[in-house]
Amino acid sequence: MGVVNVTPDSFSDGGRYDDTDRAVQHGLRLLAEGADLLDIGGESTRPGATRPLVAEELQRVVPVIRELAAAGARLSVDTMRAEVAAAALEAGATVVNDVSGGLADPGILDVVAASGATYVAMHWRGHSDRMQDLASYDEPGGVVWAVVSELRERLVAIQQAGVRAEQVVLDPGLGFAKAARHSWELLAGLEEVARLGCPLLVGASRKSFLGQLLASDDGTPRPVGERESAHLAVVTMLAERGVWGVRVHDVRATVDALTAWQAMRPPPLEDRA
Ligand code: PMM
């Protein structure tokens, strides 16, 4: 899943693709590099970000989705709003990527139920202006236990709204109301999240837990643009664990890493002499 942020303020690429033409060109490039799916977002979720108006969000994502759909792309809309999800599906998206898992605007679940779209439900505890205050996981079992039980609750609510289990993809929400160590613990404990029975999507690309791992001796985090090698190690491990998707900014590097991973996988038993 290649990321197209049509936002002025995303932490990873804010302002680079914030008009329709540039966003579409960027999407086409990611497709040419081998993305299977493009995730179009009009709201930055960086810690501390303020929310755009609904009209603003619609204006950012709908024209981009319409143009990329006309070019044959498979598209996801990164939104927490029912109204934006409905307009995006109408414009040609087939996946709704809701970082709030239906908590920010429960009406989004009705839109997904009525459309039959794939629904990505991410682990989330609150909007960006306060999510860092919500990064506490003191119960026994820590962050993995908390994320699994909170996602299980979401799964119940999602199905109660009429969304079929087969439509749902779960995401542990790396970096969302999580300190760096929480994101690493979640990656290590991903098997527990997989036991909920849904395919998994993981977004690690360029996130601050990578920057903190690679910090210099004085504690300065590695800059956003210099985290890719570490990210590729994570992506390869995720492929080995059989996730449904990885949400990435650098599609070319990701496809290269996955091509190498595939080349060194043992052939299926029936092909062995
Ligand atoms: N991360 C971001 C935005 N949307 N969606 C899902 N499903 N999972 C994520 O981890 C995720 C997301 C933040 O990253 P960005 O600002 O670079 O898009």
SS (H, E, C) 133-165: HHCCCCCCCHHHHHHHHHHHHHHHHHHHCCCCH
Q: What is the mean pLDDT of residues 64-87?
A: 98
Whole-angstrom distance, CA of residue 66 vs CA of residue 90? 9
Of 66, 247, 252, 265, catalytic: 247
Cα angle 246-28-120, degrees, rounded to a multiple of 5: 30
| 235 Cα: distance to centroid of ligand 1 (angstroms) | 15
Domain layout of the chain by residue ranges: 2-203, 204-273
Tell me the whole-structure pTM to 2 decimals: 0.95
Q: Are strands 118-122 and 95-98 parallel, antiparallel or unpaired?
A: parallel
Q: Tell me, what's the pLDDT at 270?
A: 82
Ligand 1 surroundings by CB, under 6 angstroms: 3, 5, 10-12, 41, 44-46, 78, 97, 99, 120, 122, 171, 173-174, 201, 203, 206, 247
Please state which CATH number belongs to domain 2-203: 3.20.20.20
Sequence-distant (6+) residues with CB within 8 A of 219 are none
Q: What's at 231, amino acid-wise? A: H
**Average pLDDT of the chain to the nearest whole number:** 95
Whole-angstrom distance, CA of residue 68 vs CA of residue 252? 19
Smallest CA-to-CA distance from 20 within 32, 4, 33 is with 4
Q: Tell me, what's the pLDDT at 131?
A: 87
In tens, the pLDDT along 228-261 reads 999 999 999 999 999 999 999 999 999 999 999 9
Residue 5 CA to its chain's centroid (Å): 12
In tens, the pLDDT along 86-124 reads 999 999 999 999 999 999 999 999 999 999 999 999 999
First-to-last alpha carbon distance for the chain, in angstroms, is 36
Q: Tell me, what's the pLDDT at 11?
A: 62
